[in-house]
Copies of this chain bind each other. A is one copy, B any other.
């Protein structure tokens, strides 16, 4: 469904959000251990997320990654996915045709678009804050 980059990026963002909610910034090492991801690769992903203002970062001692609580209210998963995987998941044809639209549809088009839209809506309607709040229930996990 999503690329590895996107999977790690989503997990990392949720973890950063969770910790920021508790008032603490987190370092790359802490993140990659918390979400069980390859550290150097995760660094690259965090660079992209930082560049695209999904997360904030501060260099130097006591630096690290964080997200403002206010930003968590409006940040939805769709924004993260779009940064890391582009919008092909929202616009791409299920059968790989170059164009996907109602005018010249593939035989799976209408059935496929219905599900694609649900996925899109789910990602757009799910904010980081929702997931961070859910995480407080101690039911959900970010590794294995």
Query: Which residue numbers of A lie inside 8 Å of B, CB to CB?
Result: 1-2, 4, 7-8, 10-11, 14, 77, 89, 92, 94-99, 104-109, 111-112, 114-115, 118-119, 122, 126, 131, 134-135, 139-144
Contacts and interface: CB of A to CB of B under 8 A. Distances in A.
A89 B14 CA distance: 23
Given A115-B118, A126-B111, A7 B144 contact: no
Nearest to A18: B107
Given A107-B135, A134-B107, A135-B107, A95 B11 contact: yes
Tally of this chain's copies: 2
B96 A4 contact: yes
12 contacts: A1-B1, A2-B95, A7-B94, A14-B107, A97-B141, A105-B140, A107-B131, A107-B135, A108-B126, A109-B140, A114-B122, A118-B118
A57 to B, nearest CB: 22
B142 A95 contact: yes
